[in-house]
Amino acid sequence: MTRPDGADRTGMKARLHLWIRLILLAAVMALLFVVDTATNYEVAAAVFYALVVLTAAPFLNRRVLIRLSALCVALTVLSFVLTAKGNLSTGLANMGISVVAILMATWLILKMDAARQAAQDAHAKLVRIARIKSLEGLTTSIAHEINQPLAAIVTSGTACGHWLAHDPPNLDRARQALGRIVQDAGRASAIVARVRSLTRGDPPSTTVFSFNEAVQEVIGVSSGEIARHGIALVLELAPDLPPVHADRVQIQQVIGNLLLNAIEAILSGPAQSRVIHMASEVVGGMVQLSIRDSGPGIPAGVRDHLFEAFWTTKEDGMGIGLSISRTLVEANGGQIEAEAVKTGGAIFRFTVPPVQQENSR
């Protein structure tokens, strides 16, 4: 799933940058020391050590930063001792100002850092709460989903009894009712299976499979829904896609969810232009599926929230479909995004990693 050579290259690049910065900083510090020592007491070049501390702060951790600022203070004091010319009391005052400036810069950075840390903790907490909330939504959703076929089963069962009790019994209608019962029972058990695979905590069980085939399967399941609402489905599946490496069931859940969203979006819009456009292709080394609908699109300002748990534009939505989709896509090493289309409608795209052709490890 990961691409080791790529990750290594980025890591090396980052380390190189760090070294270049450190060397530059050391050079600046040496220059400051020389200027401060060589000039009169009145020239307070040491104040600029505060700038060194500020510049270095973003790429150093707390401990190293404290050491750096201690070093700067030590250099300031040392150059004061080594300086030979000028007014001694001015030199003392300048040294004091420099030391205070360095210490204050350090203190402010540490303070800001602590605040940022606190904000991060709070955010993590919120994310956890959102997860629990979305679980609540999930159970509600499951209850609703499963009660639909159950209601149909119970009602059909009673109807069947009535047809049999007629005199003479209406066997045809009774048989039809029984057929519906069997069908709805199958539907209920499919929902249970879907929910179980969704809530299973274990990591995705990745396999290598044909992406287009998986897409076609989902379309097959939804074709009745698409036909019933008179929606035109335009398919543009790239024929030469590499096989992908992901959890097939999870990826199909994502496709199904996006397709269902597209259908719902279209139904809420005008009836004349009901088109869903699905395309698969290779983008940036990843296999990508895009689903474009001719619905009302994504209102401005909404796009950033779309994938958040418990956030929805649907009146009766739970706001968990897209959030779960994102979790699933990311668990499989891909990314998901949404975009409004200028001519109307919305487009959702997600990526799945292709199988690694040669082992580059």
Partner 1 sequence: MTDAGVVYVIDDDRSVRAALEDLLASVGIRVLTFGSTTEFLAYGLEDAPGCLVLDVRMPGQSGIDFHRRMAGLGIALPVVFITGHGDIPMGVEAIKQGAIEFLTKPFNDQTLLDAIQNGIGKDRDHREQLAESAELRARWAALSAGEQDVARLVVRGLLNKQIAAVLHVSEITVKVRRAQVMRKMNVRTLPDLVRLTEKLSPDSLT
Under the rule (CB under 8 A), what is the footprint of partner 1? 140, 143-145, 147-156, 158-159, 162-163, 166, 170, 173, 176-177, 180, 183-184, 187, 264, 267-268, 314-316
Q: Which is nearer to partner 1, 123 or 175 (CB)?
A: 175
Q: Which is nearer to partner 1, 150 or 282 (CB)?
A: 150
Minimum CB separation from partner 1 for residue 159, in Å? 4
Q: Which is nearer to partner 1, 36 or 184 (CB)?
A: 184
Q: Which is nearer to partner 1, 15 or 144 (CB)?
A: 144
Minimum CB separation from partner 1 for residue 177, in Å? 6
**From CA 335, how far away is CA 341, in angstroms rounded?**
19
CA distances 153 to 132, 162, 182, 183, 192, Å, are 32, 14, 8, 9, 16
Cis peptide bond upstream of 168, omega within 30: yes
* Among candidate residues 190, 159, 188, the one with its CA nearest the CA of residue 175: 159
Sheet holding 275-283, edge to edge: 232-237, 275-283, 286-293, 346-352, 336-340
3-state secondary structure 272-295: CCCEEEEEEEEECCEEEEEEEECC
Minimum CB separation from partner 1 for residue 308, in Å? 21
**Alpha carbon distance, N-terminus to C-terminus of the chain:** 12
Sign of torsion over alpha carbons 208, 211, 213, 217: positive
**From CA 184, how far away is CA 151, in angstroms rounded?**
9
Give phi and psi for 291, each to the nearest 5.
-125, 115
Minimum CB separation from partner 1 for residue 355, in Å? 38
Minimum CB separation from partner 1 for residue 185, in Å? 11
Minimum CB separation from partner 1 for residue 172, in Å? 11
Q: Which is nearer to partner 1, 120 or 140 (CB)?
A: 140
Q: Which is nearer to partner 1, 243 or 269 (CB)?
A: 269
* Among candidate residues 189, 97, 110, 188, the one with its CA nearest the CA of residue 149: 188
Q: Which is nearer to partner 1, 272 or 343 (CB)?
A: 272
- What is the bridge-based pairing of β-strands 346-352 and 286-293? antiparallel
DSSP one-letter string for 291-339:
EEE-SS---TTTTTTTTSTT--SSTT--S-HHHHHHHHHHHTT--EEEE
Minimum CB separation from partner 1 for residue 151, in Å? 3
Minimum CB separation from partner 1 for residue 337, in Å? 24
CA distances 192 to 58, 144, 149, 325, Å, are 50, 12, 12, 18
Q: Which is nearer to partner 1, 21 or 162 (CB)?
A: 162
**From CA 78, how far away is CA 52, in angstroms rounded?**
17
Minimum CB separation from partner 1 for residue 252, in Å? 22
Q: Which is nearer to partner 1, 20 or 135 (CB)?
A: 135
Amino acid letter at 141?
Answer: S
